[in-house]
């Protein structure tokens, strides 16, 4: 069974697909727990500079699956945890890849091993420092 957590604009009807609909961020832990979710697929086809959704996958212990583009791919590769799919993979191959993922469903900490509040700094601290230094030098 595949479950879309959130809204999904499609006419597709299948007994293998369920859509939760709109939710507030505070409801996400309960929804994921109730579903027994172990894998989070982020089918973004744009090279994002960061990914809030990917952060939520890690925060809630999901095995992230992303396409090989942008920050989402870079973050999964850097963490060593998750699956990166080629950009031009077809739907049956995506399905096969998702079904092959083995997860223990145990709660995980962010891949840095750090508490959530330190996670962004661990992933992007040096970049943020470089930006801060560059900005202070331009004044």
**The pLDDT of residue 15 is above 70:** yes
pLDDT of residue 109: 54
What pairs with residue 84 in β-bridges?
66
Distance CA 62, CA 60 (A): 6
pTM higher than 0.85: no
| Rounded-to-integer distance, Cα 63 and Cα 123, Å | 18
pLDDT tens, 71-122?
A: 899 988 988 888 999 999 999 999 999 988 876 555 455 555 555 556 566 6
């Amino acid at each position: 069974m595949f479950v879309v957590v959130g809204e999904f604009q499609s006419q597709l009807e299948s007994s293998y697909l369920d859509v939760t609909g709109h939710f507030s961020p505070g409801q996400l832990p309960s929804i994921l727990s109730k579903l027994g979710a172990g894998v989070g697929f982020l089918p973004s086809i744009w090279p994002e500079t960061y990914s809030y959704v990917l952060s939520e996958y890690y925060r809630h212990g999901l095995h992230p699956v992303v396409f090989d583009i942008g920050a989402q791919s870079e973050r999964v590769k850097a963490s060593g945890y998750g699956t990166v799919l080629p950009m031009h993979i077809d739907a049956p191959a995506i399905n096969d890849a998702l079904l092959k993922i083995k997860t223990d469903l145990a709660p995980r900490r962010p891949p840095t091993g750090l508490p959530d509040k330190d996670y962004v700094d661990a992933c992007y601290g040096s970049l943020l420092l470089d930006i801060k230094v560059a900005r202070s030098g331009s004044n």
